Structure 1
Amino acid sequence: MLVSEGDPEAKYTELETIGRGGFGTVCMAVETATGEEVAIKKISLLEESNSEVCLNEIQIMRGNKNANLVTFVDSYLVDEELWLVMEYMDGGSLHDVIRETHMAEGEIAAVSRECLQGLDFLHSKQVIHRDIKSHNILLGLDGSVKLADFGLAAQLTAEQSKRSSAVGTTHWMAPEIFTGKPYGPKVDIWSFGIVGIEMVEGAPPYLMNTSRTVQQLISTRGTPKLQKPRQQSAWLRDFLCCCLETDEDRRWSAQELLQHPFVTSAKPTSSLTPLIMATQQFMADRRY
């Protein structure tokens, strides 16, 4: 059974909407009996493509539990919606932090280590995430960093050890996806390299360009360049180069990147807490 019996509206008390997307809404709720906070993603099943994404997300999350992946709690069918209950990450998304603050290299290294641990785990299970971007990296006020949103993830098998469908978000997609080549888990490493540039510069490369133009720029220019490379350490620049190698075979794996000096020099995740709290304060100030 992919969904549980019972009435989630009786089990959970909704508090506020925390996100909206093409799929539906995400709200923050508490389990009435325990007071535990959860996030509930409500996905409309009226669109067939949504149904596939939902089933995929449930199967991937159920089968892969790790400290650096958002934890799946339960799922329910409510009228024409699928409700996906997950742990609530009280620090928001990395995208919020990037938009509101400036990240120091030590903070970038800490986030990189945690994300790479999550990717190393997924890749060891032959799962490709296929939509790594700052919006899909969630944070806790304790400094925890977790990968989220597994709707586009792909489970590789012995029979199908590569994929070739063009899925993901254009600005973060690897060159081999644009050229239609069969690809493996290292597309996630390219995407994370783009997240690295986001953390340094506040946005992915070519943000103001159309999807078609971005495809042409990545295909012809190859590895995107930092705008002010001299302001970054040699270790950070080299780390990004190892992620953003256009040749998939030469691109480093998550396991290899975890041994990179930039990553091994990272501070404990608790160092991220002040950054996350500052982000929330800025967002709250703007709201009022």
Structure 2
Amino acid sequence: MKVVSKRKLMKQYGFPRRPPPRGPKAVLGDQPKVLGPLERVYQEIAILKKLDHLNIVKLVEVLDDPAEDNLHMGMKQVLPVMEVPTDNPFAEEQARSYFRDVILGIEYLHYQKIVHRDIKPSNLLLGDDGHVKIADFGVSNQFEGNDALLSSTAGTPAFMAPETLSDNRKSFSGKALDVWAMGVTLYCFVFGKCPFIDEYILALHNKIRSKPVEFPEPPTISEALGNLLQRMLDKNPDTRITIPEIKLDPWVTKDGADPLPLEEEHCTVVEVTEEEIQNSVKFVPSLSAVILVKAMLRKRSFGNPFECPSRREERSMSAPGSLLM
């Protein structure tokens, strides 16, 4: 269960906003009604609930207490694929397997016109099926056209792309940001730490902008993996490798012997109806009371399940004949 603030989701840099319809739906006189901030949140929840991909974590249900600020988002139970830093990084074969899952998950999101903006190991969850699933869309953005042109920074400092830290760039490619963060993540997979580290945020920013990528030893990585990391961690987003190019990379495909599926083989456009938007969230008055009652039913007891035993015994001794109502 993930708890998120409705106020934060309604901010412009928070939950992605659905772009206007494309094609026949976009004709004049057939424009959709203008959604309020909270309606946009529910629309995006409807979209996230319909995202259906092996490498995207499944959002099962969202509970909303109208009197509270928080939404409770229930997801399938999975664990982070890696905690960083670690003294036990993955061998190349394991890293390749997990990274291929990340590639397909990101390609699927970009196909839905969503940029994630916060790819990192702790947002990559390992399912019971052994596949990595991308999670946490708290700072993602939805876009129109071929790419998102962003002007604000978001995400985790050590995974931010250098162009977001530049004073010269007014906007930057959302897809290129995801590729950079994927490069940092792959580096973490094989080295157990981020390529740029500093306890001071300004020094960290300076390293990301100007320090070349270095590969510590041990472990010694293959030349093919080193080449891919260099291309993903290219400080110039205009020459940085793209997702279609990554899919064909020799290290990813074992020199073509193990190709990834084509985009059309694993991606379909997600559309939501007005009814699905209306039903995207379950409104539960006094959510804490519902949780309390469910806990009581599970324990088959009408006593307060959160009361300490000593207090319960003390009360029962003072009123031995009383009944709990």
Do the two structures share a fold, i.e. TM-score over 0.5? yes
Confirm or deny: 8 A CA contact 2:196 2:208 kept in the other structure.
Answer: no
Report SS of the residue matched to 1:177.
helix
Confirm or deny: 8 A CA contact 1:136 1:147 kept in the other structure.
Answer: yes
Specify the structure having the higher radius of gyration (Cα): 2
Q: More strand per residue: 1 or 2?
A: 1
Q: Which consecutive unaligned segments of at least 5 residues does structure 2 have?
A: 16-40, 259-325
Q: Could you tell me how far apart the structure 1 residues matched to 2:156 and 2:47 are? A: 19
Structure 1 residue 51: deviation in Å?
Answer: 4.8
* Aligned counterpart in structure 1 of residue 8 of structure 2, from 49, 53, 59: 49
Structure 1 residue 142: deviation in Å?
Answer: 2.6
RMSD: 2.7
TM-score, normalisation: structure 2? 0.62
Confirm or deny: 8 A CA contact 1:99 1:202 kept in the other structure.
Answer: yes
Q: Where does residue 115 of structure 2 map in the other structure?
A: 128
Larger relative CO (CA 8 A, sep 6+): 1 or 2? 2
Q: Could you tell me how far apart the structure 2 residues matched to 1:160 and 1:110 are? A: 27
Q: Where does residue 81 of structure 2 map in the other structure?
A: 94
Task: Kindly provide the amino acid, as one letter, of the partner of residue 224 in structure 1.
Answer: V
Confirm or deny: 8 A CA contact 1:60 1:153 kept in the other structure.
Answer: no
Confirm or deny: 8 A CA contact 2:125 2:135 kept in the other structure.
Answer: yes
Cα shift readout 1:225-270 (whole Å, capped 9, x = no counterpart): 2223881101110111121111112111122111111111398xxx
Identity %: 29
Cα shift readout 1:30-52 (whole Å, capped 9, x = no counterpart): xxxxxxxxxx212244xx32554
Q: Which stretches of structure 1, 4 residues or longer, exceed 6 Å deviation after superposition?
A: none
How many matched pairs? 224
Confirm or deny: 8 A CA contact 1:117 1:254 kept in the other structure.
Answer: no
Q: Could you tell me how far apart the structure 1 residues matched to 2:164 and 2:50 are? A: 26
Confirm or deny: 8 A CA contact 1:218 1:224 kept in the other structure.
Answer: no
Q: Could you tell me how far apart the structure 2 residues matched to 1:207 and 1:168 are? A: 16
Q: Where does residue 228 of structure 2 map in the other structure?
A: 239
Confirm or deny: 8 A CA contact 1:116 1:255 kept in the other structure.
Answer: no
Q: Where does residue 18 of structure 1 map in the other structure?
A: none
Cα shift readout 1:178-225 (whole Å, capped 9, x = no counterpart): 11441221111100111111112211123343221111111122x422
Task: Kindly provide the amino acid, as one letter, of the partner of residue 101 in structure 1.
Answer: N
Q: Where does residue 270 of structure 2 map in the other structure?
A: none
Q: Could you tell me how far apart the structure 2 residues matched to 1:61 and 1:198 are? A: 27
TM-score, normalisation: structure 1? 0.70
Alpha-carbon distance change, 157 to 59 in structure 1, aligned in 2, over 3 angstroms:
farther
* Aligned counterpart in structure 1 of residue 55 of structure 2, from 61, 68, 79: 68
Structure 1 residue 114: deviation in Å?
Answer: 0.5
Structure 1 residue 97: deviation in Å?
Answer: 8.2
Q: Could you tell me how far apart the structure 1 residues matched to 2:196 and 2:147 are? A: 33
Q: Where does residue 220 of structure 1 map in the other structure?
A: 210
Alpha-carbon distance change, 156 to 229 in structure 1, aligned in 2, over 3 angstroms:
farther
* Aligned counterpart in structure 1 of residue 104 of structure 2, from 95, 109, 117: 117
